[in-house]
Amino acid sequence: MFGTFQNFTDDFQKMSKAGFDAAVHSYGEVSKGLQAIASKVTDYSKVTFEDATRLFEKLVKAKSIEQAIEIQSQYAKNAFDTYIAELTKFGELYASIARTAIRPVEDHSQTHQVPH
């Protein structure tokens, strides 16, 4: 009887350690993904700032109100298109992070069953 209990506790400890290791690995993947997102946000922010600076320079050089409106309209269209493209990339990145982060937990749950 004691041997059965000992085997159960040993199995439970091994399963708990493996579960903890899977969770730590999963958190590591989330951390890497969030770092990648932060890097992408920084890059996007830099590009949008540079675009806005160029817009201001073009607006200052505009010869007429009509030209300024055309410059602003083109900027707005390009900014919107870029924003939508970046949102799509961010969505794909978040989905990839989720898939990568859940994989260690799924693998653990498939290979470690609760002992009976």
* Structure confidence by residue, pLDDT tens digits, 26-81: 888 889 999 999 999 999 999 999 999 999 999 999 999 999 999 999 999 999 99
**Per-residue buried b or exposed e for 42-76, using 16+ beta carbons within 10 Å of the residue's own CB:** eebeeeeeeeeeebeebeeeeeeeeeeeebeeebe
Total of domains in the chain:
1
Amino acid at 57: E
92 part of a folded domain: yes
Q: What is the overall mean pLDDT for the chain?
A: 86
Instruction: For residue 21, give the nearest of 105, 113, 112 by alpha carbon.
Output: 105
116 part of a folded domain: no
14 part of a folded domain: no
